[in-house]
Chains A and B, each alone.
Chain A
Amino acid sequence: MNIPASFKYTKNDEWIKVEGNVGIIGITDYAQQQLSDIVFVEVVVSVGDTIKKDDNCATIESVKAAADVYSPASGVVIEVNDQLSNSPELINSDPYGSAWLLKIELSDPSELEELLTAEAYIKKIEEK
């Protein structure tokens, strides 16, 4: 299982990668394995929307389940990954790279401190 050390995680299996004041959000390798073959991704927020931490920001459907994605942090949506609507399988093959879901301008970077480190997240999955 690939859990990059430099990212932050939620217990609901989202990751956030911080670049300056921008947070890039996606779902973890563990999450994509649990969901199995992903067939549909819908980002349910639009560029310009203000979202709060824990807001529903995307829905992911696999052949066996539908899962909601919740934002690990608050901010304004600055970009949405359009590529996923035609190639949802990217989440299975490249969950931390080309399969990012959305980018937000962080409004409260202090929220990030509440998130899990890679180490803490790995521990969390081992308990599941």
Chain B
Amino acid sequence: MFSPHTPTEKEEMLRAIGVQSIEDLFQDVPKAHRFPSLKLPPPLMEMEALAEMQNFADGNETCRDLISFLGAGAYHHYIPAAVDAIIRRGEFYTAYTPYQPEISQGTLQAIFEYQSLIAALTGMEVCNASHYDGATAVAEAVNMAVAHFRGKRTGIVISPSLNPQYTETVQTYTRNSTLALTGFELDPFSSPDSLLPLINTNTALVIVQYPDFLGRLFDYRKLIEAAHQSGALVCVAINPIALGLLTPPGEFGADIVTGEGQPLGIPLSFGGPYLGLFATKLEFVRKMAGRLVGETVDIDGRRGYVLTLTAREQHIRREKATSNICTNQGLMALASAVYLSLLGRQGLRELAELCYHKAHYTMQRITELPGFTLKDPQPFFNEFVIHCPTSAETINAHLLEHGILGGLALSQAYPNRPGMENLLMIAVTEMNSRDDIEALASALAEVSHD
């Protein structure tokens, strides 16, 4: 329970530091700026306020109103109604790991099940209680690799086809460090082989994405072997839905698997809250950031859950901790655990197959049109890049007139790179019906020419 200070306690504290009143503490802020008068409209009654909010909301165009082919890291999937029904239960709705953990057995069990599901999905031995999103999870992988080598290795090799937002987050985290980031400036369409010359005995971590940001699938075994020969660790950032169909990275040698958990039952909702997946091998668990729930038995032999290996965390290890963020996305982790449980192993596989086949059909329909070609022949999962006869932004504007939210114009993701203007990245999920795909093809046919 939170108990505020009593007036007597406030008096005592003020006396101890030698000031008269709380206002005295703010004297460095000029008086005119201390309590500025706010020019607010007159108050509204509840009914009016709700109507005004509804008006604002109606200004949005969402995936409910538009046919969407936009992905690039966040995907429009169907969310079974049970997900919301369960996460809105009062017992779960406080979105945080508890500070007095062992009396919150239900919350701990939910996190434990989340961890177990993600570990199984990625083929890894241990998974933490989550990070903020896919981008911060990658940045924490960098922290972990640096801690693993005790700062003795300072090279981070980043695939140029890692989501540029993830790269930016890593740059933000490492801006004031001595780490050297390489690889990300290469042509995003280059293959993983282009990273091989960058790996050496100073490399702490090699980061790749699977499927990569451009939707492509590569066999990373050769790259991982080269990294391991130099003693470096490898992080594979995944799309969890794709793992319904693909070999889990744990089976081809990944040391760390991170991912954006949003596709697992979490709405797009303008970019968040999302979910950062983070899994690794048991041998690295002491260097992993984040909270970790373990299963044990109590004094009477009954099953129970605990926060475990907490000496890794910053409240004990202070500045020597791998990370100073151990916050997790409790509610989103629960949503993804409910989602995965509802789908099951077979359901997830069927979903991944649906996405794969619909995406390939869409690609086929688009590339039948004169002037539209597939940019890269590499195998892909549910997202691919099309070279268009005109600028991708022009095409998106045209599609919007037809009620279609087009793909990502790659010039937006790579603003300083030439040759991106006509490239459009299209994502397809189970939410795109056959009619949607035909609507896209006929809208594109209107701008098609050789």
Residues of the A chain whose Cβ atoms lie less than 8 Å from the Cβ of B286: 40, 42, 61
Q: How far is the CA of A40 from the CA of B287 in the complex (A)?
A: 12
With a cutoff of 8 Å between Cβ atoms, the chain A residues found around residue B316 in the complex are 61, 64-66
The smallest beta-carbon distance between B364 and chain A, in angstroms, is: 55
**Residue interface mask A37-71, B partner, CB < 8 A = 1:** 00110101000000000000001011111101000
Contact B150 A66 (CB under 8 A): no
**Residue in B closest to A59 when the chains form the complex, CB atoms:** B320
Chain B: interface residue total (CB-CB under 8 A): 6
Q: State whether the Cβ of B282 lies closer than 8 Å to any Cβ in chain A.
A: no
Q: In the complex the two chains form, what is the Cα distance from A87 to B317 in whole Å?
A: 21
Do A44 and B320 contact each other (CB < 8 Å), given the known contacts A61-B311, A63-B311, A66-B311? no
Name B's interface SS. helix
Question: What is the CB-to-nearest-CB distance from A69 to chain B, in angstroms, rounded to a whole number?
Answer: 12
Residues of B within 8 A of A64 (CB): 316
Minimum distance in angstroms from A67 CB to a CB of chain B = 10
Closest partner residue, chain A, to B317 (CB atom): A66
Interface class of chain A by DSSP: strand
Scoring A40, A44, A61 by chain B CB atoms within 10 A of each residue's CB, the highest score goes to: A61
In the bound complex, CA of A66 to CA of B150 (Å):
16
Closest B residue to A63 using CB positions: B311
* A42-B286, A68-B320 known; A62-B311 Cβ under 8 A: yes
Contact in complex: A39, B311 (CB < 8 Å):
yes
B-side contacts of A66, CB under 8 Å: 311, 316-317, 320
Distance, CA A127 to CA B25, complexed state (A): 38
* A65 CB contacts on chain B under 8 angstroms: 311, 316
Chain B residue numbers with a CB within 8 Å of A59 are 320
19 cross-chain CB contacts under 8 A? A39-B311, A40-B286, A40-B311, A42-B286, A44-B150, A59-B320, A61-B286, A61-B311, A61-B316, A62-B311, A63-B311, A64-B316, A65-B311, A65-B316, A66-B311, A66-B316, A66-B317, A66-B320, A68-B320
Beyond A59-B320, A61-B311, A64-B316, 5 additional pairs, beta carbon < 8 A: A40-B286, A42-B286, A61-B286, A61-B316, A62-B311
Closest 8 CB pairs of A and B: A61-B311, A66-B317, A66-B311, A66-B316, A44-B150, A65-B316, A40-B286, A40-B311
